[in-house]
Chains A and B, each alone.
Chain A
Amino acid sequence: MPVLQTSFGFSPRVRELPGCAWALLLLLVLFAATASNFLTTGNLLNIASQATLLLLLALPMTFVIMTEGLDLSLGALLSLCTVIFAIVVKSSGSVSAGILACVMIGVLIGALNGSLISMLGIPPFVATLGTMGIATGLALLLSEERELIELGATAQAAWSGIWMGIPLPVWIAAVSYGLFHFLLKHTRFGVSVIALGGNSEALRLAGKRVVPRLTLVYVLAGVYAAIAGVLLAGRINGGNPTAAQGMEFDAIAAVVVGGTHFVKGRGTLFGTLLGVILITVLRNGLNLLGLTASIQVAAIGILVIAALAMESRR
């Protein structure tokens, strides 16, 4: 089995990446041929902006899945942050205050997830299932009897702003990708993420404590859900408690289809990037072909199971 030996210590399995990339290529060709508006600039920009949001969730989710965990609460957290952002901006008029509030909530819930999982050995899906419920309820509560639209130009700037011809969200996504890449390959934290999934005992033997590191992985996810929430609020110009419901599923699917398979700390950020584009393109294309969101979701589910089944056969 040929192994690509890259220079920085973790290699994407050669088999996976091309699989995902070929599938993406196939989809692009397919949709270009069958869907009339697929290749228009407008549509491609649409894909790009959708993908940037998903990428913001999928990047930290990659770390989570590399530690053999799962975070089901990110979609609800994202929605909650749009609500909080809207509330703070409307009441205080300050966008920075809104951002701060969201990040704080992201840190809080991420820390809650992380400590439940790392300190008490609670299975990640249960812990995050619980926090998902809490976040959903909070979002619904806070948005009751409140007008949460019309946040003003500044709030929308993050989403609609353009710098050097490229939309701000794309910049944010690119910088984030760079950040995660940097974390994974050039910092001790990145090494410990791989170790957490591959052999946490090795970390302990090296005298490094598992609890703070694993918690940080989930805090990172929470913070990014918050950032994505701020962006989304800017995009829909308001807060919506169910705005991103189910987005965690797309994020998980993107990570899994991209090649990170809950296996002993093995993972690839580039694969996640491809996975995000693939999922977004798939949704977009199916949409243009008139297939509803529900079919899209079913198709993505099948992809996830197929990817994992192939992993088990190895």
Chain B
Amino acid sequence: MSLAIIQDRSVLKHAQAPSEETIGITPQQPVNSIETESVKAPPLIKLCGIGKSFPGVRALQDVSLSLWPGEVHMIMGENGAGKSTLMKVMCGAYKADEGHFEYQGRKVAVRGAADARRLGVAVIFQEYSLVPYLDVAQNIFLGREPMRRIPGLIDHSRTHREAAALLQRLGSDIDTRAIVENLSVAQHQVIEIAKALSQDAKVLVLDEPTAALSVREAEKLFKLVADLREQGVAMAYISHRMDEVFELGDRVSVMRDGKMVTTLAANQATPDELVSLMVGRKVNMNYSRGERPMPGDVVLEVKDLAGTNGLAQASLQVRSREIVGIAGLVGSGRTELVRTIFGADPATSGTIVIRGEPFKGGPADARRKGLALIPEDRKRQGLALEQTVGDNLVSASLPRHFPSSWFSPARADRLAKSKIEQLSIAPARPRKSAGKLSGGNQQKIVIGKWLLDDAELFIFDEPTRGIDVGAKEQIFALMDGLVRQGRSVLMISSEMNEIVRVCDRAYVMKDMRIVGEVSHEQLSEDNLVRLAMGGK
């Protein structure tokens, strides 16, 4: 079986040269086949009819999922489909509002993380559960170090022995005495898995584990997953990568809009089918752009840009009066791209040209050139939550409106009120603390901040995340208005249908590179998703 896998992988590698022609990927030979229909034993763990709501949002609705030992169960879906929420319910971080758990056929209560741990569920984090300056063995046994007979003394040899055994079981040759800080992200992941196994994990939850890995490291992880499967560990594996799904998966579940759409055996599914299951939805919003304005001159030109934040290679162009989208999956490098353009992270190579002049510098310089960045994490990077709405609104444009450096609160108040009115920010009180407003209104503040600075090129990073439908439409209409005034918009979104509806054309990113450009005529969700997921 292992031989077959290696062969399949090499075939995959040849087929994956990213280009506009890579529309479909032919699935490989069935990797594994657990004939789920014929298994008599109840699943190891089963979530039944799980529902979970947050204020204003129904994140999960009647979702059921079962996991058998030794099964790799792929979970797919677009962003916001509910995958992460479901996993958090499974590991006890969230408590389900509806539905129940079953463990080996018997109903059990899972009220929190401790209950989930007792059932043997472990989530593999990337960074935040390891201590940088402890060694591998210490990290694996953090808080549960084996002790010697004399009370209080850690048994170092046993710690390292058992850690080494665990790592060997995972086929890893990491030195147990290596300091975690010096190891790579891929190795951190292996350590996390070893840590989970050391606590008798029977169910592992992996959330996009290959997102930050190189091709070789990912292959090692695949082998690890295969070994774990043989050892009877069940795995819930969130993935966006078609090749992974078909290479590793036994079954595939597709989620959409908080519901479980269907569960298929991996060898009975095709990529096209999966894509349409993920993406198919009724477009129920009324916004339509009407007549597109004609694009003008090139405002931003980026060539072969790479940065310290991991951006590998990007070239793009934005003209005035255009809304250009940047599509791609989580971890594809979209935020890194715009941060490098804006100067928030340093560039290591390539050029940025703004209105014909080469650009170098930080955010303060970018601002002076007319750029604006509305970050993904609006609470932590876009706003000062403790300050007032008014303070936030004027924070970027102070040099523009008060060139002599003399500040007039009355004028600032007027400016703030003008944006509050224009954007319908509610409550319409400039002195209200920004942290108290809803997500949609907070986003409007961030946008308003840059409107006041009369920016020319607006870069939006996931502008509608966590925002209700009404506010979304307003933001799209706003973008349209901006480009009609002659400005430009660069928009990152994980919701492909948004990009299709709102943008004139789009670039697609994968693995820290721009892998394709989709013109207006070719702009469709299917095309975007295929490019974004195209083989590895």
Contact = CB atoms under 8 A, between A and B. Distances in A.
A235 interface: no
B153 A186 contact: yes
Nearest to A183: B152
B376 interface: no
Given A191-B142, A202-B129, A9 B153 contact: no
Interface of B: 114, 128-135, 137-139, 142-145, 152-154, 156, 175, 177-179, 181-182
A265 B154 contact: no
Contacts of A290: none
Interface in A251-266: 264-266
Interface string A35-64: 000000000000000000000000000000
Contact of B131 (A8, A188, A265): A265
Contacts of B128: 199, 201-202
Contacts of B135: 9-10
A3 B182 contact: yes
A9 B143 contact: no
Nearest to B150: A186
Contacts of B133: 10, 194, 198, 264-267
A208 to B, nearest CB: 5
Nearest to B182: A3
25 contacts: A3-B179, A5-B177, A5-B178, A6-B177, A9-B134, A9-B138, A9-B177, A10-B133, A10-B134, A10-B135, A10-B179, A186-B153, A186-B154, A186-B156, A191-B138, A194-B131, A194-B133, A195-B142, A199-B128, A202-B129, A202-B131, A206-B142, A208-B143, A264-B133, A265-B133
Nearest to A195: B131
A93 B376 CA distance: 69
A7 interface: yes
A207 B153 contact: no
Given A186-B154, A187-B154, A201-B129, A207 B179 contact: no
Contacts of A3: 179, 182
Contacts of A192: 143
Given A3-B179, A10-B179, A206-B142, A195 B154 contact: no
Contact of B144 (A187, A206, A265): A206
A65 to B, nearest CB: 13
Given A7-B177, A9-B138, A208-B143, A202 B154 contact: no
A199 B114 CA distance: 20
Contacts of A186: 152-154, 156
A28 interface: no
Contacts of B143: 188, 192, 203, 206-208
A270 B173 CA distance: 30
Nearest to A208: B143
Contacts of B130: 199, 202
A195 B130 CA distance: 9
A201 B114 CA distance: 16
B179 A198 contact: no
A58 B134 CA distance: 22
B142 A203 contact: yes
Interface string A173-190: 000000000000011100
Interface of A: 3, 5-11, 186-188, 191-192, 194-195, 198-199, 201-203, 205-208, 264-267
* Most B CB within 10 A of own CB, among A194, A202, A203, A208: A202
Contact of A205 (B129, B153, B156, B182): B129
A191 B132 contact: no
Contacts of B153: 186-187
A198 B175 contact: no
B145 A191 contact: yes
Given A5-B177, A203-B142, A198 B129 contact: no
A78 to B, nearest CB: 28
A15 to B, nearest CB: 14
Contact of A9 (B129, B137, B144, B181): B137
A13 to B, nearest CB: 10
B142 A202 contact: yes
B144 A11 contact: no
A195 to B, nearest CB: 5
A199 B128 CA distance: 7
Nearest to B136: A9
B57 to A, nearest CB: 26
A261 B130 CA distance: 20
A124 B264 CA distance: 56
A8 B152 contact: no
Ranked nearest first, the 4 interchain pairs of A and B with the lowest CB-CB distance are A206-B143, A198-B131, A9-B135, A266-B133
A198 B134 contact: yes
A199 B182 contact: no
A210 B134 CA distance: 17
Given A186-B154, A202-B142, A203-B143, A265 B132 contact: yes
B92 to A, nearest CB: 12
Nearest to B176: A9
A287 to B, nearest CB: 37
A10 B130 CA distance: 14
Nearest to A190: B154
Contacts of A207: 114, 143
Given A198-B132, A198-B134, A202-B131, A191 B154 contact: yes
A3 B175 CA distance: 13
B178 to A, nearest CB: 7
Contacts of B142: 191, 195, 202-203, 206
Nearest to A1: B182
A195 B177 contact: no
A203 to B, nearest CB: 7
A264 B134 CA distance: 10
Contacts of A205: 129
Contacts of B139: 202
A314 to B, nearest CB: 12
B156 A5 contact: no
A202 B175 CA distance: 21
Contact of B134 (A5, A7, A194): A194
Nearest to A265: B133
B132 A199 contact: yes
Nearest to A10: B133
A266 B177 CA distance: 15
Given A194-B131, A199-B128, A5 B179 contact: yes
B397 to A, nearest CB: 33
B154 A188 contact: yes
Contacts of B154: 186-188, 191
* Most A CB within 10 A of own CB, among B129, B135, B143, B145: B143
Nearest to B128: A201
Nearest to A205: B129
Nearest to B137: A9
B115 to A, nearest CB: 13
A11 B129 CA distance: 20
Given A6-B177, A198-B133, A265-B133, 18 more contacts: A3-B179, A5-B178, A5-B179, A7-B177, A9-B156, A10-B133, A10-B134, A188-B143, A194-B133, A198-B132, A199-B130, A202-B129, A202-B131, A202-B139, A207-B114, A207-B143, A264-B133, A267-B133
Contacts of B179: 3, 5, 10-11
* Most A CB within 10 A of own CB, among B133, B143, B144, B152: B133
A270 B46 CA distance: 53
B156 A188 contact: no
A11 B177 CA distance: 10
Contacts of B132: 198-199, 264-266
A195 B129 contact: no
